[in-house]
Amino acid sequence: MLRRMRRTPRLRRSRERQAEARTRPQVVAHRGSSHDTAEHTLEAYVKALEEGAEALECDVRLTADGHLVCVHDRDLRRTTSTMGLVSTMSLAELDELDFASWKNPWSDLDDEAPARDPIHGKVLTLRKLLETVADYDRHVELAIETKHPTRYGGLVERRLVEALDEFGWAGAGSPARIMSFSVNAMSRVRRLAPDLDIVMLVDRAHHWPVLRPIVDDDWIIGPGVEELRDHPGLGRHLVRAGREIHVWTVNTADDLQLCLDVGVTAVITDRPKFILELLDS
């Protein structure tokens, strides 16, 4: 049986040079600055940028009328107290919902709380997030996760690549990278946009031996910090294999130190300001 040839794109060498030049891991804001601000809202991402986040992480789902929106859960109970499913609702229907109040339900009773721009608590489209990054006054990267399983299957990746292409970000030098726990989803992205960076997310250490033979050598690996902590051999295996490692969700000094010890190149955190302060201290 012939072994499948591995792809070694020119971008890999560029990414390795960037990693070598970086003296510390990139700080990626997980769903924005989501520790204190409602996740996936424009307010959370603006705050993350103001705090100095070097990249923004988001999850994307497809609405019933074909729009990519930044929402983690398939249903809306947790973030809007609504029973609907993202995939069965139109963008206009989602736009009627409040995606922010769940985080601070008593804020209306706080006379000293700053006034919130209503648009900051609306559903956030991927297009709006891309525009925000494109218009920002410094270089910011994006880590975009496609959620699976979904009723729309591979259409999510196709629409995502199309959206990136409209910004000129579907080829070499893109500030965006695509992530998923689905090998099939990442393989689709590789076919649709061969030069985009891919992050294969890993939620269990024992999944890595299964994934290792079927993911390309240039795919970034994204384990959870708990798995690195509970299974030290995972980090050693990834380093020995020469893998670039992006870790989620890094919110404490101990977790950050673990990542530094392993040599990861990006940490995804709910607390970008806190992590940046630790790194710069």
Q: Give the list of residues 6+ apart from residue 199 with CB closer than 8 angstroms, or none.
A: 143, 177, 178, 179, 180, 219, 220, 221, 222, 246
Supply φ then ψ for residue 28, to 5 degrees. -115, 125
Whole-number Å distance between alpha carbons of 77 and 114: 26
How far does Cα 204 stand from its chain's mean position?
18
Give the angle 132-138-140 at the CA atoms, nearest 5°.
60
40, 72, 139, 237: the catalytic one is: 72
Whether 166 contacts 159, CB under 8 Å: no
Active site includes 72? Answer: yes
Supply φ then ψ for residue 70, to 5 degrees. -90, 95
30, 35, 67, 246: the catalytic one is: 30
Whole-number Å distance between alpha carbons of 253 and 268: 13
Whole-number Å distance between alpha carbons of 210 and 204: 11
Active site includes 30? Answer: yes
Residue 56, SS3?
strand
Instruction: Point out the residues that are catalytic.
Output: 30, 72
